[in-house]
Amino acid sequence: MKIYIVEWKDSASFSGWRDREEMKEKHVCSICSVGIILAERPAEIVLVSYLAGADVEGTMVIPKACITRIRQLKVGRTK
């Protein structure tokens, strides 16, 4: 089973009254998600956190346009 680290950008939202100049300096969020790529389509990937037989949990659909990097997690075995 392959586990991936997916780095991507998402919208940022700030509630409540804020200083206008402070808000001019805000940027989108940088997100790092870890999981199993369940499906890959031309415009998106489906990433899941948990697999249990035919069931999954923690499903996230990420648009490929938002993805900045995908790396396979390499895990070494201990003796």
User: What does the angle CA 6 – CA 49 – CA 71 come to, to the nearest 5 degrees?
Assistant: 25
As for how many domains the chain has, the answer is: 1
Residue 79 forms part of a structural domain? no
Residue 78 forms part of a structural domain? no
Residue 77 forms part of a structural domain? no
Global pTM value: 0.84
Q: Is the pLDDT of residue 79 over 80?
A: no
DSSP result, 6-34:
EEEEE-----S---HHHHHT--PEEEEEE
**Per-residue pLDDT tens for 15-70?**
999 999 999 999 999 999 999 999 999 999 999 999 999 999 999 999 999 999 99
Q: Which domain holds residue 16?
A: 4-72
Residue 36 forms part of a structural domain? yes
